[in-house]
Amino acid sequence: MSVWDQIIGQPEAVHTFTRAVAAATNPRDPGPAMTHAWLVTGPPGSGRSTLAAAFAAALQCPAGGCGACTVCRTTQGGGHPDVEIIRADTLSYGAEDARHLISRSSVIPTSGRWQVVIIEDSDRFTSEAVNVLLKVLEEPPQHLVWVLCAPSQEDVLPTIRSRTRSVQLRTPTTSEVSQALQDRYEIDPAMAAFAARASQGHIGRARALATDEGARIRRQEVLRSPATLRDLAACFVAAGDLLSAATEDAQSISTELDASETADIRQAYGEGAQGLPSSKTNRLANSALKAAEKTQKSRRTRLIRDQVDRALVDLIAYYRDVLILQTGAAIPLINDEMRAQIQREASSANLPDTILRWEAIESARAMVAANGALPLVLEALMVELKDPRISQRT
């Protein structure tokens, strides 16, 4: 058993990090295999964050990542005092976030050999935030290791790329994801194969599809929407349905997180303790709760956009399958269970229109990422999916 056992389809990356861990046994002179600033890139679902956490656990573990000890378990569970995992609860990291991060990361390790800071979504750093971080990335304290995660090297600013060592991940194959679902979660082989294919190598998405019937139903509703776009009214209905489903999914995720954070704040300021809290404590508690509410609101906004983007990725896969049938390519369909609908779409549309529809979805994804108004973005998209040449006539 090892912390690396949970990494799916990334042997080169695991080799790089195991060499680094071996070299890091001497913190005073770790050698060239080890460095203090890493950039882990890979497509969504490739396991960037999981790999980063495994690396942190292996650095802290006396056995180099046994996977069974308390150090390994607490690190990968987010509870190790010397491993900081930063997740973007807002749409971007600002300069103030960067200053706070530097302050938190500058402490001496309390129990481990290293202070490890993992930053998910490091592509969300603003240029001002990057300027704040440059000094500590260039000359970190001897005990500090940065692990930055992003979808690709191009998504982070050049000043970050030039100061980090890059480890690139690939999309796991369908067979690798399917086997992992069977081995780890005892998923039926047929369901595992479906989830692996439908998720397009996204490990987290595959697990959700394999274990959550609601996730499968919502995906089916998204994929059926192109067949419902008979007129403009239907386009607006489809856009509203997609946004409502994304909002419900985001709400179900954020409600539990919000409640847990609020309870922790109230407990930290003495709620439930014997005696009455002082007026100063009450003021501090109210201030902390207001700050948390602001962060939670931003997180809900981000989660809605993430869920909308996931639905758009499913639509791209749908039209990819349409293109496969239109061109006669001998390639398996991602959505083979919907072959009949996809065949009707392929027969009723021409190849140029399918390409225009694909491009319209990609354009919508870009507008979602750029903070565009979601109702307008989705309504315009559905109109273009119904009539892909409408923009050419206006």
Distance from first CA to last CA of the chain, Å, rounded? Answer: 62
Do 295 and 239 lie in one domain? The reply is: yes
Q: What is the Cα–Cα distance from 113 to 209, expressed in whole angstroms?
A: 39
143 Cβ contact partners less than 8 Å away, ≥ 6 residues apart: 27, 108, 109, 113, 114, 115
Do 324 and 388 lie in one domain? The reply is: yes
Tokens of 79: 């509870």
CA–CA–CA angle 321, 318, 181 (5° rounding): 95
pLDDT tens track for 256-270: 767 766 776 676 666
Do 153 and 279 lie in one domain? The reply is: no
Do 69 and 179 lie in one domain? The reply is: no
Confidence of residue 8 (pLDDT cuts 50, 70, 90): very high
Number of domains composing the chain? 3
**Tell me, what CATH number does 86's domain have?**
3.40.50.300
Do 27 and 79 lie in one domain? The reply is: yes
Residue 43's nearest CA partner among 163, 201, 196 is 201
pLDDT tens track for 143-153: 899 999 999 99
Residue ranges making up the domain that contains 195:
174-211
> Residue 9's pLDDT is what?
92
225 in any annotated domain: no
> Residue 295's pLDDT is what?
66
Distances in whole angstroms, Cα of residue 305 to Cα of each of 144, 198, 205, 249, 300: 33, 20, 16, 11, 9
223 in any annotated domain: no
138 in any annotated domain: yes
348 in any annotated domain: yes
CA–CA–CA angle 273, 274, 276 (5° rounding): 90
Do 65 and 154 lie in one domain? The reply is: yes
> Residue 369's pLDDT is what?
85
Mean pLDDT lowest among 18-32, 51-65, 212-226, 356-370: 18-32
| Residues in a beta bridge with 85 | 118
Residue 90's nearest CA partner among 58, 54, 120 is 120
Do 270 and 378 lie in one domain? The reply is: yes
Domain termination residue (choose one: 116, 144, 168):
168
> Residue 132's pLDDT is what?
86
* Cα-trace Rg, the chain: 23
Amino acid (1-letter code) at residue 228:
T
- Give the pTM: 0.76
Residue 250's nearest CA partner among 182, 209, 296, 192 is 296
Do 187 and 264 lie in one domain? The reply is: no
pLDDT tens track for 80-103: 888 988 876 666 778 888 888 888
Do 202 and 314 lie in one domain? The reply is: no
Residue with tokens 């595992």: 192
Helix (H, G, I), strand (E, B) or coil at 14: helix
216 in any annotated domain: no
Secondary structure element (H or E) that encloses residue 369, with its range: helix 351-369
Do 153 and 297 lie in one domain? The reply is: no
Among 86-90, 116-120, 342-346, the range of highest mean pLDDT = 342-346
| Residues in a beta bridge with 149 | 40
Beta strand residue intervals within 164-297, DSSP E: 165-168
Do 206 and 255 lie in one domain? The reply is: no
Distances in whole angstroms, Cα of residue 190 to Cα of each of 85, 194, 201, 291, 351: 35, 6, 16, 47, 32
Mean pLDDT lowest among 103-112, 148-157, 361-370, 374-383: 103-112
> Residue 276's pLDDT is what?
47
- Each as own residue / partner, the long-range contacts of residues 265-269 (CB below 8 Å, 24 or more positions apart, any chain) are 265/289, 265/292
Do 309 and 263 lie in one domain? The reply is: yes
Domain termination residue (choose one: 148, 168, 188):
168
Query: Looking at the chain, how many residues does it have?
Result: 394
220 in any annotated domain: no
Mean of all residue pLDDT scores within the chain: 87
Kindly write down the DSSP assignment for every residue of 62-75, as one continuous string. Answer: TTS--SSSHHHHHH
Do residues 96 and 103 lie in contact, with contact meaning Cβ atoms separated by under 8 Å? no
